[in-house]
Chain A
């Protein structure tokens, strides 16, 4: 089976350049599609199931982080192994710094051949380790878990990076949420201790307590660094729950996890990326 890759990059010339550099650094790799935005990247990846993804972080519609998180959940793991994920980013002062530690799962634009070769070497190594011909064979669950861990790491670094400008406020955890009501005339002060979960919805963030729902306009990624990481867990790209409020975790027929919270009746979906939080002891 030929090795295939997908490039998601909104700037046509840069997509072309990356493809040319890849052709030189990794002749066996075939770029099967080039997507111009996050949504079509997800669509094309699910249609073609490539082994490697090169995702630009800033893209219209859905950014690279969002596209990756969506793919992590909808990837048909029984049809094809989860692909290797590489972020491609221009100078984003924070991203570059955060990524420096990982050093290998991202490529900086303009793409330089030397650097790309290192990334390619690592990708080849990772793909070889996951190949079924390995002896002794690595169980598929372990391969999946390993790939998911890599995705978590890359997404975590990139996510922390994009929230970094506001991270200065994270030294003291947030105590109150100030939420204005529909008319905007009244601001409700909601103690953080009453919040059971946060859910991102379109351009709002829903704040849910046992009895009430409030809307705020702070994006989840900016709120996250201000929350106590022990008290609140991210379980989905769009959902952060109070860990102490989790009553049970259910697995449905398709293998997807859902949370039941004390005090709320709705079921909360858990992303595949965060399923490791709920593995039985």
Chain B
């Protein structure tokens, strides 16, 4: 059980990277604009 959780956690960067790559490749880099804006606001307000 914990070993399996470990495997999933180790696979997380690959999965998330693949998800971002798929999204960007499919919809273009503009889809990340809102994300960057939100992150910038968070950094500013902090």
Mutual binders A and B: no
